Amino acid sequence: MRVVVALGGNAISRRGEQMTIDNQRRNLREACSVLARVAQEHQLVITHGNGPQVGQLALHNKDGYPLDVLGAETQGLIGYMIEMEMRAVMAPGQMLTTVLTLAEVDPDDPAFGDPTKFVGPVYREDQARAMAAQYGWQFRLDGDDHRRVVPSPMPRRVVQIDSVRRLLDAGHIVVSTGGGGIPVVQVPEGGYRGVEAVVDKDASSSVMASSIEADVYVMATDADAVYLDWGLPTQRAITEIDVEELDAMTFPAGSMGPKVSAACRFVRASGHPAVIGRLDQLQAILDGTAGTRVLPHA
C-alpha cells in the first residue's frame, strides 16, 4: 500500500518533558523503529508536526524572524533527526529523502483573524499575561494551561507534490510536509511569499495524501482512538465510522477537532480510509484492528 503517517508532536517532544535534542532524538528513535517495519512492506511518507519546536524558536527569536522562516528552520531540524534515526533502522538498500515542503494558503483565509494553532510550551496564567503584554502574542487554554496561538489557514495544495510522487515511484521513503509545510501565498508577479502562520500538519498531510493517491492516511497521536463523551463515565471509543456520521459530530478545536476534519477531508477526496490512533499500534492500525477507522460514505 501507499501509506502516509502523520506524527503527532508527542512523537518528537512529549508534554512535560524538556525539549532537549537528546530527548527529541530518543522519542524519534522509538517512532522510527515502528515506521521502519512499515516501510519494509509498504510505500511510506512520513509527515510531522512542529508546534513545540516553532514556539520554542519564536521564544528565543531575538532577530524577529517571521513564522514562515521559523517553520523552515524546524522542517530542517526535525527532518534531519528523522533521517538520522530512520537510517539507523532501515533495511539494507532502502532509500530515504526529506523534502523541504511549501504549503500554499489563501491570503484571505479567515484564520488570519482568528488564531487557533497552539505553538510552544505551556505557561501559567501570570506568565501568559506578561508575554502577551511584552510580545503582543495571543494565548488560549490548552487543557488547564495557557499556550500561545497563531493563525492556521487551511492548505490549498502542497507545492512539491510532484517531487513526492516521483520519489515514491523510485522506491524512496519520503519525509514531507513537515510542520504542515512552510505557509506561502502566490503573488501576482509570480512565485510565492511566506506568511505569518503555522499550517496544521494533519490538514496539510490530508491534502498531500489525497494528491499522491495514498491507500490510507494515518494520524499517529497519543490517543488510541477518537472518543465520544471524553472524560465522562460514558466515554467510549469509536472503532469504525462513516465519514458523514463523524463529520456531523463536534470535537474540541484544540485537540481532536483538526484530526477529525483532516480525516474526513482525505476520505471524501480519495475514497480511501483514514485512521486516528497510537503510533505504537501502527501495524494493528494498518491491519484494521486498532484506532478509529473513518470510511467512505456507503
In 3D space, the residue among 51, 42, 47 whose CA is nearest the CA of residue 15 turns out to be 51
Give which of 187, 195, 190 is closest to 155, Cα–Cα: 195
Residues with Cβ < 8 Å from 130, sequence gap 6 or more? none
Cα–Cα dist 231/228, whole Å: 9
Q: Are strands 95-98 and 102-105 parallel, antiparallel or unpaired?
A: unpaired
CB neighbours (10 Å) of residue 245?
12
**Residue type at 223 in one-letter notation:** A
Kindly write down the DSSP assignment for every residue of 61-123, as one continuous string.
-TT---HHHHHHHHHHHHHHHHHHHHHHHSPTT-EEEE---EEEE-TT-GGGGS--EEEEEEE
- Considering 51, 71, 178, 259, which one is annotated as catalytic? 259
Residue pair 238/225 in contact (Cβ under 8 Å)? The answer is: yes
Which one from 10, 50, 179, 181 is the annotated catalytic residue? Answer: 10
Query: Which of the following is catalytic: 9, 49, 51, 181?
Result: 9
Q: Which of 117, 180, 277, 291 is catalytic?
A: 117
Cβ contacts of 62 within 8 Å, gap of 6 or more: none
Residue 62 among the catalytic residues: no
Q: Which three cell numbers stand for residue 153?
A: 489557514
Catalytic-labelled residue, pool 79, 179, 201, 291: 201
Query: 201 an active-site residue?
Result: yes
Catalytic positions: 9-10, 117, 201, 259
